[in-house]
Structure 1
Amino acid sequence: MREKQSVRFEKQGAIAAVEWRCGLPRNRMTEFDGKKQDACEYEAGHRIETAVGVRSMPFRVLGIDPGQFSHLYGLSDADLAAEGAKRYVVDSKPGFPDRVEVRDMNIGEHAILLNYEHQPADTPYRSRHAIFVREGAHRALDAIDFIPDVLRIRPISLRGFSHNGEMVDADLVDGDALAPLIEQFFENPAIAYLQAHYAKRGCYAARIVPFRNDRQDGQDIPFWGRVLGRRASSQNQS
């Protein structure tokens, strides 16, 4: 039963990644059938069929809450400067990794460069650094058992922290080998969460936490997962 459940969550995570990559409305993403999809859906759908098998330690990759940055959207360059931030027009891809949607921004989009405290714990590891945020980003990535391309194509510094913010372990890895290292880190009961950093410049990239689906209220299930669950329940009753 646990293996079947893990496979189901693996597939839901990949479906959510397809939706995110292709910008599909939620009410169309009930199941991927591999037929009559455009090129984007086909490419992302291939990820579902070739996704890694059952994971011993499922995980969630999380973007930053955009509410922390929305007050910067639409400000003049002078007002941004007063906030210690700067606007760029994206002129290369890859090159401007957004931390909300956890993707490389498209050419022509606006990026805001700002200083962000990604490790606020009151320990010697408290830290902040420069990050890019896409101007107008309003929904943070929340994906299960899926490594976004922006991480996959870059060398990553993965850091494991305890509940009180002490660093427990760290390692360097190519992005396409990140998933096994995540699982390895979470096998250590002292590690509560992970932070992925882009290794070259040391910038914060994303937060990674264990995926748990053992709460009756569904609070540990991402929003799209709860939607899929309600939809499946209503279909079973009809």
Structure 2
Amino acid sequence: MTFRITSLPLAPFQSLFALDDAALAALGARRMIADAPNSAPCRISLADAEPGEALILLNHRHLEDPSSPYRAEGPIFVREAALEARPAPGEVPDILGRRLLSVRAYDADWMMTDADVVEGRELGDRLMQWFADDRVDRIHVHTARRGCYLAEAERA
């Protein structure tokens, strides 16, 4: 058994770059320019923006199930040049592999079954361990320090 890391889909975010700053602010979003390497991980492309690259910073509900006490939302970056990432089964994208991560396992009812803080280079092994448990349906990956949602993992 293996896993697949999935990004957010591009379609719901594509139109944001056509909005002016006032329209973005009305949505609680901001136009940003990446100012340092590895500082703005895009949740669509699963790649960090390069310094000088345009992004939108916005709030996103990544756990939407209204019946779950774990429903959650938070800030995400979307690169203007984003294309949807499609990591191969068992592949850990670089933006995950080089960060300290907070990882949360959920069952099919969106109840948390386990959680851990993991060095990114150890993520693949930890995902395999969790997916060996039939109760685990999906896993959310967050930055450990700021707690921002990065990606989801599912069985492949």
TM-score after normalising by structure 1: 0.63
Q: Which amino acid aligns with 1:193?
A: R
Q: Which amino acid aligns with 2:20?
A: S
Residue 62 of structure 1 is matched in structure 2 by: 6
Higher relative contact order (CA 8 A, sep 6+): 2
- Tell me by how many angstroms 1:172 deviates: 0.7
**Alignment map for 1:86-105 (pairs within 5 Å):** 86-105=30-49
CA–CA distance in 2 between the matches of 1:70 and 1:143?
24
CA–CA distance in 2 between the matches of 1:70 and 1:173?
32
Q: What are the Cα deviations for residues 14-65 of structure 1, in whole angstroms up to 9, with x where unaligned?
A: xxxxxxxxxxxxxxxxxxxxxxxxxxxxxxxxxxxxxxxxxxx211111101
Residue 150 of structure 1 is matched in structure 2 by: 95
- Tell me by how many angstroms 1:106 deviates: 1.1
Greater helix content: 1
CA–CA distance in 2 between the matches of 1:86 and 1:173?
30
Would you say how many aligned residue pairs link Structure 1 and Structure 2? 155
Q: Which amino acid aligns with 1:128?
A: E
CA–CA distance in 2 between the matches of 1:126 and 1:168?
14
Of 187, 204, 207, the match for 2:149: 204
Residue 162 of structure 1 is matched in structure 2 by: 107
Ranges in structure 2 where 5+ consecutive residues have no aligned partner: none
Contact 1:66 1:140 in 2 (8 A): no
Contact 1:70 1:136 in 2 (8 A): no
**Structure label with greater radius of gyration:** 1
Counterpart secondary structure, 2:18: coil
Q: What are the Cα deviations for residues 97-141 of structure 1, in whole angstroms up to 9, with x where unaligned?
A: 000011111122111110000011221001101111112424243
Ranges in structure 1 where 5+ consecutive residues have no aligned partner: 1-56, 212-238
Contact 1:159 1:194 in 2 (8 A): yes
TM-score after normalising by structure 2: 0.95
CA–CA distance in 1 between the matches of 2:6 and 2:114?
20
Counterpart secondary structure, 2:88: strand
**Alignment map for 1:39-188 (pairs within 5 Å):** 57-121=1-65, 122-188=67-133
Of 125, 140, 146, the match for 1:195: 140
Contact 1:185 1:191 in 2 (8 A): yes
